[in-house]
Amino acid sequence: MNPSISHTHPLRGLIILLICFSGFAQASEQDGLFAGSAQLSAPQLTTAILRRNADITAMQAAWQAAQARIEQAGAFDDPMLAYQLAPQTLGQDSMDTGHKLMLSQRLPWAGKRKLRTAVARHEADASREGIARARLRLSEAARHTFADWYFVYAALRINRINQSLLLEFQHIAETNYAAGRNTKQDVLRAEVEATLLEHRHIVLQRQRREVQSRINTLLQRLPDAYLPPPAALPQPVDLPNIAQLRTRALQNHPALRALQARLLAGQRRLALSKRDFYPDITLNAAYNSLWNQEEKRLTLGAAINIPLGDKRKAASDESRARLLRLDAQQKTTVAEILDTLQRAYEQVQESRHVLRLYTDRLLPLAEENLAAARSDYESGRGGFLDLISAEKNRIQTQLQQEQARADYHRRLATLERTMGGPLNPQDNLSGSPAQ
């Protein structure tokens, strides 16, 4: 091995990686994504991910390749041109050079080309539904990460508000301590709680950066590329009844549409295997100068292949078995989709009720409890521990309310992925590519 080559190749590879990374970093910084956006909404993020993610591009390329196979499947075989020469006639003065020229064309039995075209078309349809499934998964992932983005910002906002409120409580405790109305323990407890909220802020900032990295990965950007703060999540909506969602799932889910396309392809493939028992015809035209009589030199003819039954019967049996497997797979997929849909529906309804419980009852009670504890402490009727406990309860209730809101939208995204599209068909971000 040449030592100079063994040392040069790793260095060259490192330089190439650095150049690629530098170009990627520059492109990520200058891509202008979300430029001028004060806030980032869930539909905006979902649209951007669907446009930029490389998985969609790869699957679209696979679909285009499947589309290109349709014309190939129904095309005739190339015509064959054959030439033969009688070498011993070369250079002979007593005779002309002997040669033979033949042109032939193979013609499949009637219906074979049409069936081959149908098989390729249905396979392309199944490939197209793969794009729709990928879009559904990416849409769900985008909305899940946006819910995380919303929640971490909501938690930071709640933490900042409560840090300010605790400073007020700390000031009140110091004032009462200076006036001799309480002990130094209240002041120390206030400092401890303030320190804990400061630690919570550091943890939340780390979580924010982690969510930012996940979103930018879906966007094919650098992990720390800028993202605007999240817009508010929409209010919960009433769901259609489960029977309507089942009907839409069975009609629209790309997994079922892909299986249906493969079933149709399997049926055409089975019909084609039966047509293969019939011979193909090869037409030919030949000119043979070896014949002495001019009238015999030009010939027209035809040939057929003789289909042997054993291998064609085996091919037909294989097509029939594959069709049975697809039929069973379709029934299993229907059952799985309906089961997942039912569970997703119940989870969305649960999240909706939980969010309403926090909004209408638990949070107002926590606010009222904190107000009462503060009034009692300021008047000397209550202790500082009661005030801190009421404040902690309110913080926890606020966080649980925002967690319930984020959970509702995560579960709604899963429900829509399971049913094959959004509740509102006009918001369809997961449809098949235009033809």
pLDDT (tens digit per residue) in 64-95: 998 899 899 999 899 999 999 888 778 777 77
Exposure on the CB side of residue 151, measured as CA atoms within 13 A: 21
pLDDT of residue 6: 42
CA distances from 317 to 116, 181, 323, 419 (A): 18, 94, 10, 35
What average pLDDT score do residues 249-260 get?
93
What is the SS3 assignment for 435?
coil
pLDDT in tens, 309-343: 888 899 899 999 999 999 999 999 999 999 999 99
Q: What is the pLDDT of residues 365-390, one digit of tens each?
A: 999 998 998 888 777 777 778 888 88
Cα dihedral 157, 159, 160, 166, rounded to 10, equals 150
Alpha-carbon gap, residue 392 to 290, rounded angstroms: 107
The rounded distance, in Å, linking the Cα atoms of 304 and 306 is: 6
Q: How far is Cα 254 from Cα 127, in angstroms, rounded to an integer? A: 10
**The pLDDT of residue 15 is above 70:** no
Residue 306 pLDDT greater than 70, yes or no = yes
Rounded distance, CA 143 to CA 145, Å?
5
pLDDT of the residue at 17: 45
pLDDT at 427: 61
pLDDT > 70 in the chain, percent = 89
CB contact burial 396-433 (16+ within 10 A = b; e otherwise): ebbbbbbbbbbbbbbbbbbbbbbbbbbeeeeebbbebe
List, for residues 386-402, the tens digit of each pLDDT value: 888 888 898 999 999 99
What token pair was written down for 184? 């130094």
SS3 238: coil
Q: In 3D, which of 153, 34, 202, 212 has the Cα closest to residue 405?
A: 153
Task: Give the fold, CATH level 3, of 45-427.
Answer: Outer membrane efflux proteins (OEP) (1.20.1600)
Q: For the segment 78-137, what is each residue's pLDDT rounded down to a tens digit?
A: 999 999 988 877 877 777 788 899 999 999 999 999 999 999 999 999 999 989 999 999
Counting other chains too, the contacts that 210-219 makes at CB distance below 8 Å and 24 or more residues apart are: 211/145, 211/148, 211/149, 211/152, 212/149, 214/145, 214/148, 215/45, 215/145, 215/146, 215/149, 216/28, 218/49, 218/53, 218/138, 218/141, 218/142, 218/145, 219/33, 219/48, 219/49, 219/52, 219/53
Angle at CA of residue 427, ends 426 and 431, nearest 5°:
90
Measured in degrees and rounded to the nearest 5, phi and psi for residue 222 equal -65, 145
**Angle (nearest 5°) at CA 23 between 20 and 27:** 140
Strands (E) across 254-344 are located at 281-288, 298-304
Q: Amino acid letter at 45?
A: L
> Could you tell me the sign of the dihedral formed by the alpha carbons of 411, 417, 423, 424, in that order?
positive
Average pLDDT, the chain: 86
* Residue ranges of domains in the chain: 45-427
Least confident of 178-192, 196-210, 280-294: 178-192
Q: Are 430 and 421 in contact (CB under 8 A)?
A: yes
Which pLDDT band, with edges at 50, 70 and 90, does 166 fall under? confident
CA distance 335 to 303: 52
Asked if residue 65 lies in contact with residue 254, where contact means CB atoms within 8 angstroms, the answer is: no
CB-count burial class (<10 Å; 0-12, 13-18, 19+) for 142: buried
Q: Hey, is 348 helix, strand or coil?
A: helix
Q: How far is CA 164 from the centre of its chain?
A: 42
Q: How many CB atoms lie within 10 A of CB 257?
A: 19
Query: What percent of the residues of the chain are helix, what percent strand, and what percent coil, each to the nearest 5?
Result: 70, 10, 20
**Size (the chain), residues:** 435
**Could you tell me the two tokens for 137?**
């998964």
